Amino acid sequence: MRTESFSFEGTEVQYLRAGQGRPLLLLHGSGPGASSIGNWKAVMEPLASKYEVFAMDLIGFGGSGRKPAAPFFDYELWVRQAVAMLDLIPAERAGVIGHSLSASIALTVAARSSKVAAVMTTGAMGARFDLKDGTARTWTCPRNREELRKAIGGLIHHTSGIGEAYYEAREKVIYAEGYADYFDSMFGGDKQQYIDAAVVAKPTLERIAQPVLMLHGRDDEAFPMSSTIELAGGLATADVVLLSECSHSVAVERTATFLALASDFFRRHLDNE
């Protein structure tokens, strides 16, 4: 696995690259300390055994630069960034995996780019729901380990299996100079607006002809599974898998299931193109 970067609209964007084969673009969520390595560490190596994986940090997250001026929550910026990353991938077609906020971004990108061959989502945002306590906690930056544990506890059903490396990966982002204030500004004010900003409109869903696989934890209280179910209802071709004993972080909580489903899905819709 190697770290690479490119400049996008004046900001340095970092991504991880590993493996060989047909390309997969991985897009992380928006939780405290979110980054590609934090979101996808458990699945990157197995995916890279068959695919060339590009796991990009959104601007304002992970190793990518921060947006120089507010508003720091900028859905359209992140969509353009994802399209730019796709354009850098040296292949005609690619699969995309998006988690949480980036599930919405991935679907929007699929509606705009014929380079997207298939989309897989986990814990998808993209349909309107009322702000939950867990959602608000996710979008408030922890200032210490105990606050981080509480935030993660709302995103992972069984936290007993979460090791020190998981927390350290997130703390590396959170404790960077000025980042906590930046993050809280990104999700400042009425947090319902950020749920609404990520809604994928019906005309956009109708333009998505690519196959879509959507995974969601049944125990996800912060980002309810109703969002995935509603989105799927507006898509031409979508399979939905609801996972028991699982909250928001599917790739972390149900790694083997995630990999088995991803392997079958992309074998059918990317490998054979």
Strands 52-56 and 116-122: unpaired
pLDDT at 28: 98
Neighbours of 216 (CB within 10 A): 28
The domain defined by 2-271 carries CATH number 3.40.50.1820: yes
pLDDT at 183: 95
Q: Torsions phi, psi of 56, nearest 5?
A: -100, 140
**Residue ranges of domains in the chain:** 2-271
* Residue written as token pair 């105990």: 146
Give the residue ranges of DSSP H helices in 60-214: 75-88, 101-112, 133-138, 145-153, 164-174, 179-186, 192-197, 202-206
Spatial separation of the C-alpha atoms in residues 102 and 79, rounded to whole Å: 9
| Radius of gyration, CA atoms only, the chain | 17
Per-residue pLDDT of the chain (273 residues; tens, 9 = 90+): 899 999 999 999 999 999 999 999 999 999 888 899 989 999 999 999 999 999 999 999 999 999 999 999 999 999 999 999 999 999 999 999 999 999 999 999 999 999 999 999 999 999 999 999 999 999 999 888 888 888 777 788 787 667 788 788 888 888 889 999 999 999 999 999 999 999 999 999 999 999 999 999 999 999 999 999 999 999 999 999 999 999 999 999 999 999 999 999 999 999 877
> Could you tell me if 62 and 14 are in contact, meaning their C-beta atoms sit under 8 angstroms apart?
yes
Q: The whole model's pTM is what? A: 0.94
pLDDT at 161: 65
Spatial separation of the C-alpha atoms in residues 63 and 14, rounded to whole Å: 6
